[in-house]
Structure 1
Amino acid sequence: MFVAVTLLMAAIGCEVGATAVLPRTQSFHHVGWSVVVVAGYVIATWLMAIVVKTLPLGVTYATWAGLGTVAVVGISWLSGEELSLVKVLAVGAIVGGVIALNVGSTHAA
């Protein structure tokens, strides 16, 4: 299970990295950054395919999407994007949902 969680974190990192540099592709007109983005998404998806052999799909995807969203919001804020109270509350709801799914999955079996 440790390996699966580690690969999940790597998948999240690849997806977040690709998303963070997406604006640099200039709508996919900049070839170099476009390759980085596509490679990041491909690697993230490949790692997810490995992870779901061990971890439940629903929990895995919720964790990937939730933590990825939180990380991208954080990166966007560090890059100068405004972070309103509504965004902070929404991120809190996402984190709470991911935690609830993970806790719920450990008690379901």
Structure 2
Amino acid sequence: MKAYLLLAVAIIFEVLGSTCLAKSEGFTKLLPSCMVIILFSCALYIFSWVVKTIPLGIAYAIWAGVGIVLTAIINILFFKQSIDMPAMVGIALIVLGVLVINLFSKTAGH
């Protein structure tokens, strides 16, 4: 259970880093650029602890799936970007895939 909490923290750092990446304007803005490096470094450091317990493929599937959903939500709420139906379906399929892995796969290492 501790590994999944750490994974959640790593995902939050990664999503915040991605948000700062958008604000860095191609690494031309100093503060957002520094935040990208710090937040991604923290995310990867924590993720390295996660994969000691959760298999890499499973942890990465969760990381990517949750990260995509949170990033899409942030883009909609804070950057006023719209999302079309194919994008919503694609994101839903990713979430479904993560759920299938975690609920039914023996690989998940629960």
TM over 0.5: yes
Q: Which residue of the partner structure matches residue 51 of structure 2?
A: 52
Q: For the Cα contact (< 8 Å) 2:11–2:67, is it kept in 1? A: yes
1:81-92 mapped onto 2 (5 Å cutoff): 81-92=81-92
The CA distance in 2 between the partners of 1:107 and 1:57, in whole Å, is: 10
- Residue pair 2:13, 2:42 contacting (<8 A) in 1 also: yes
TM-score by length of 2: 0.91
1:67 paired residue number: 66
Q: Is the 8 A contact 1:59 1:105 kept in 2?
A: no
Q: Which structure has the highest helix share of the two?
A: 1
User: Number of residues paired by the alignment?
Assistant: 108
Query: Identity, % of aligned pairs?
Result: 32
RMSD, aligned CA: 1.6
Name structure 1 gaps, 5 residues minimum.
none
Partner secondary structure for residue 80 of structure 2: coil
Q: What SS does the aligned partner of 2:105 have? A: helix
Give the TM-score of the pair, scaled to structure 1.
0.91
2: CA distance, partners of 1:68 / 1:107? 21
Provide the rounded CA distance (Å) in 2 between the counterparts of 1:91 and 1:32. Answer: 30
Residue 102 of structure 2 is matched in structure 1 by 102
Tell me which amino acid in the other structure corresponds to 1:55.
I
Aligned runs of 1:29-44 on 2, under 5 Å? Answer: 29-44=28-43
Instruction: Give CA-to-partner distance per residue, 1:17-67, whole Å, 9 cap, x none.
Output: 010121221211111111101111111100110001111111100000110
Contact 2:58 2:107 in 1 (8 A): no
Relative to structure 1, is the Cα distance of residues 102 and 23 closer, same or farther in structure 2, using a 3 angstrom cutoff? same
